[in-house]
Amino acid sequence: MSTRRTKGTLVWISAFLSFLAGLNVFSAVMLLTLQGSDFVAEFSIMDLKLGSLSALAYFLVSTIVTFMLLGLTFFFMLQGLPADPKVFQRLSKVEENLVLNTNMLENMQIGFFRRLDDNEKVTDEALQKMNISLDEATKERNNALERQRKAVQDVRKENKKNVDIIKKQAAQVAVVRKRVEKIAKTLSPTKTKLTSKSKLKALKGVKPRLAQRLKTTGITNVGQFLTTDPAVIAGKTMELHETVTSLQAKAQLLMVPSVDENDAELLVKVGITSRKELADQDPIQLCRAIVNMANAYVEKGKVSASRIPTVDDVWSWIRSARS
């Protein structure tokens, strides 16, 4: 115990001296920073002068002494102490326990390996039985898969036949549908471009200014526009009489099913100005006149060749005008 106390005292003393030396290092650093390395400081205790050193020498000496004291402190701390007899007794007991535990582990290891050998034998026998069972199960599975494969092939063949039949039926249905649509299109009345209730802006050629003037006279739809004398309209709207007459003619013709803007313009150009005149026409003669007029339009680039009416179109207009 006295040795331990002595060691502790030495450690504390050397640590304290290391602390003081560290303070001197800090002081030397301050002198170097503030005064420079050439500054000379005088050291004294009370009235006793110890001499003078430059700030750099003071720093070096303080640093060396600090490291020496720190090394001495660690030496005292790490220096071995005489062993305690009680420690040896405890160590001997630990060694005895280690020997006993080693013997127990060896016995357990021997028993473990014996049981492991027994388990390996049992496992080998079980694996052999499992292999036999797996072989039988694999054969049964393969047989079942083969039966399923044949069944799937039969189903595919049957489905292919059904698909071919369905395709043929679909083609027949498509043909019948086209025929029905054609018949329905022929039987059902075609919508007209204009009706008597259509707004004036629906009639191509009625400009916004003319529509506004017509509105002030009480004419707001196509029916009112057709039933008003063209001379009255021309007088109230300041439009040319020929312009009003042409617009009324186009409006009448656009009320005939299947007649569009281009068709109505061509009919007006060949002299057809009313539905009644259209109904009284000979289809062949009218078609010739329209084709001649349309060819002139095609040459000028006003109408494409594909928009030239056919005899069937003219027949359809005349039948619709007569109905």
Stronger pLDDT, 97 or 233, i.e. the higher one: 233
Mean pLDDT of 109-124: 76
Stronger pLDDT, 86 or 123, i.e. the higher one: 123
In a domain, 195, yes or no: no
Q: Decide if pLDDT at 46 tops 70.
A: no
In a domain, 193, yes or no: no
How many distinct structural domains can be found in the chain? 3
Q: Decide if pLDDT at 145 tops 70.
A: yes
**Which of 28, 51, 78 is the C-terminal boundary of a domain?**
78
In a domain, 83, yes or no: no
Question: CA quadruple 263, 264, 267, 269: dihedral positive or negative?
Answer: negative
Same domain, 311 and 242: yes
In a domain, 214, yes or no: yes
**Which of 78, 99, 124 is the C-terminal boundary of a domain?**
78
> Could you report the per-residue pLDDT of 253-282, keeping only the tens digit for each?
888 888 888 888 888 888 888 888 888 989
Q: Assign 81 a pLDDT band (cuts: 50, 70, 90).
A: very low
pLDDT for res 122: 81
Same domain, 64 and 116: no
In degrees, rounded to 5, the angle at the alpha carbon of residue 190 between the alpha carbons of residues 170 and 254 is 150
**Which of 33, 48, 78 is the C-terminal boundary of a domain?**
78
- Which range of 15-24, 30-39, 94-103 scores highest in mean pLDDT? It is 15-24
Range with the poorest average pLDDT among 19-23, 185-189, 268-272, 293-297: 185-189
Task: Please count the CA atoms within 13 angstroms of the CA of 91 that sit on its side-chain side.
Answer: 6
In a domain, 194, yes or no: no
Same domain, 304 and 220: yes
- Which range of 69-83, 148-162, 175-189 scores highest in mean pLDDT? It is 148-162
Same domain, 221 and 299: yes
CA 272 to each of CA 114, 214, 321: distance values in angstroms, whole numbers, following the listed order: 120, 25, 12
Same domain, 116 and 230: no
Mean pLDDT of 108-124: 75
Domain that holds residue 94: 88-188
Q: Decide if pLDDT at 208 tops 80.
A: yes
> Could you report the per-residue pLDDT of 279-293, keeping only the tens digit for each?
898 989 988 888 888
Q: Decide if pLDDT at 229 tops 50.
A: yes
3-state SS string for the chain: CHHHHHHHHHHHHHHHHHHHHHHHHHHHHHHHHHCCCCCEEEEEECCEEEEEEEHHHHHHHHHHHHHHHHHHHHHHHHCCCCCCHHHHHHHHHHHHHHHHHHHHHHHHHHHHHHHHHHHHHHHHHHHHHHHHHHHHHHHHHHHHHHHHHHHHHHHHHHHHHHHHHHHHHHHHHHHHHHHHHHHHHHHCCCCCCCCCCCEHHHCCCCCHHHHHHHHHCCCCEHHHHHHCCHHHHHHHHCCCHHHHHHHHHHHHHHCCCCCCHHHHHHHHHCCCCCHHHHHCCCHHHHHHHHHHHHHHHHHHCCCCHHHCCCHHHHHHHHHHHHC
In a domain, 184, yes or no: yes
pLDDT for res 83: 47
Task: Report the chain's mean pLDDT, rounded to a whole number.
Answer: 78
Same domain, 235 and 304: yes
pLDDT for res 84: 52
pLDDT for res 259: 87
Same domain, 206 and 291: yes
Same domain, 230 and 296: yes
Same domain, 301 and 208: yes
Residue in the block written with tokens 């040795």 = 3
In a domain, 210, yes or no: yes
